[in-house]
Amino acid sequence: MIRMNLINDYYILMSIITRFAPSPTGLLHVGNVRTALVNYLFSRHHGGKFMLRMDDTDLVRSTAEYAAHIEEDLHWLGLKWDVFARQSDRLPRYEAIKQELVKQGRLYPCYESQEELTIKRKMQVSRGQPPLYDRAALKLTAEQLHKFEQEDRKPHYRFMLKDEEIRWNDLIRGDTVFQGRHLSDPILIREDGTMTYILTSVVDDMDFDISHIIRGEDHVSNTAIQVQIFHAIGSKLPEFAHLALIKTKEAEISKRTGGFDIRGLRANGIEPMAISSLLTKIGTSEAPEIRFSLEDLIKEFDLGKFGRSPANYDEAELTRLNHKYVSQLSFADITPYLQAMGITIDENFWLSVRPNIERLSDLREWWDICVKPLTPPAEEKEFLGTCRQMLPAEPWNESTWSQWTAAIKDATGRSGKQLFMPLRLALTGKEHGPELKQLLPLIGYDKVMARLKG
């Protein structure tokens, strides 16, 4: 599929390619996954391609284990990529771009230590000045440079920003403008020779013809810097869209926040489509509702519905969607789950408990309640003794419960909560759950008698 881009009153045909570029320095959290989903759905909605790129130039923090976890989590969510790249495989390409920028005079060596830079920033802030790099490295004398070499001091390299307006039409934020003089020359090459993603991302986006960069609003100032890098290396600009960040009631969600990683949600019984249904709607003009396939989300996806207000992540809403998803699964749908959990139930059991479970893992609890010994609360013994005496003989069906409770009502004069709650607690140990007319035959005569005896 193609997109039409209006440039200088002429429509240019361009293929749509989006990318998700995580750093394998931690587990994917809901904020990362939302970005991945939006990129995936946008590209698929327009018949384009989706790329997964591992931004693993941070050799200290990046690990193969985290990279494998990221791929596994994306597969579990159903996100399939058309193109894959790993930045650590492309180091010669970045080195060539580095040398080109040095020749242009846009990339220059700096020798300040981290401690010296920190002192500079503190002094600027104390004077009421913005903490921008002062380009002192450009004023070093030959004698000073020789001294640094003698000390074996390794330089880091900064990109020289031009003092000019930086402007783009953001697909979410609208017209976005920065002034080059208000930005600090960014470090593109570290002292150890490794490169920051600010440079490598631009090179990759150019080489892989990325048409749309969709990422979090926390990257807006990076985008302003990268616009100038795109121009410096002779690349056309992609389209940009910056999503408002996801927040909880307490704080923004990030790797450092903890507690929101996808693997944790998966272990807690949350289904992929519940996650996708929530994350692709929060921050938009539409309320989250459960969808049963990514194809449904692809058809209705519209980037124009995303607003600039922070997107609120509510775990209770995720649980609600998960319940809606699970409660509409057929017995055939859950067969693989049953095999994984090592429990054996029939379709009647599933249909009986399905309306009352939030997660498929809840099945084990109700299975245990029906098939294993249970010691109920030692309350209402006299009443339960009467119920025991009036328990019908098997075989049982769904009408057995109403026949039995009608007889108990006539004998005791009890009705409503006074009749049903003691029975529910005795038979299941819980105050709420599936209808007892359905559970009773599943528990069986012998276990019911034992539980009523206490």
CB atoms inside a 10 Å sphere around CB 420? 15
> Whole-structure pTM over 0.85, yes or no?
yes
CB atoms inside a 10 Å sphere around CB 189? 23
What pLDDT, on a 0 to 100 scale, did the predictor assign at position 107? 97
- Tokens representing 376? 């109920």
Q: Is 178 exposed, middle or buried, given 0-12, 13-18 or 19+ CB atoms closer than 10 A?
A: buried
Which parts of 84-196 fold into alpha helices (H)?
91-104, 114-126, 142-150
- Tokens representing 441? 């035959």
What pLDDT, on a 0 to 100 scale, did the predictor assign at position 177? 97
CATH topology of domain 381-453: Arc Repressor Mutant, subunit A (1.10.10)
Establish whether domains 1-85+165-178+198-327 and 381-453 are of one fold: no
pLDDT tens-digit readout, 286-339: 999 999 999 999 999 999 999 999 888 999 999 999 999 999 999 999 998 888
Mean pLDDT, residues 269-277: 96
Distance (Å) of CA 359 to CA 1, 30, 276: 39, 19, 16
pLDDT band at 13 (very low <50, low <70, confident <90, very high): very low
Mean pLDDT, residues 133-148: 91
pLDDT tens-digit readout, 170-229: 999 999 999 999 999 999 999 999 999 999 999 999 999 999 999 999 999 999 999 999
* Half-sphere exposure at residue 134, Cβ-oriented, CA atoms within 13 angstroms: 14
Do 268 and 261 meet the contact criterion of CB atoms below 8 Å apart?
Answer: no
Percentage of the chain lying above the pLDDT 90 cut:
70
Distance (Å) of CA 389 to CA 108, 373, 378, 396, 408: 92, 20, 18, 16, 10
Question: Is residue 454's pLDDT more than 90?
Answer: no
φ and ψ of 174, to 5 deg? 85, -155
Best CA proximity match to 248, nearest among 320, 321, 315, 306:
315
Instruction: Return mean pLDDT, the chain.
Output: 91
Percentage of the chain lying above the pLDDT 70 cut:
94
CATH architecture assigned to 1-85+165-178+198-327: 3-Layer(aba) Sandwich (3.40)
Q: Where along the chain do its domains lie?
A: 1-85+165-178+198-327, 331-371, 381-453
Collapsing DSSP states into helix, strand and coil, what is residue 205? helix
* Cα separation, 69 vs 48, whole angstroms: 26
What pLDDT, on a 0 to 100 scale, did the predictor assign at position 30? 93
* Cα separation, 434 vs 124, whole angstroms: 66
What pLDDT, on a 0 to 100 scale, did the predictor assign at position 374? 86
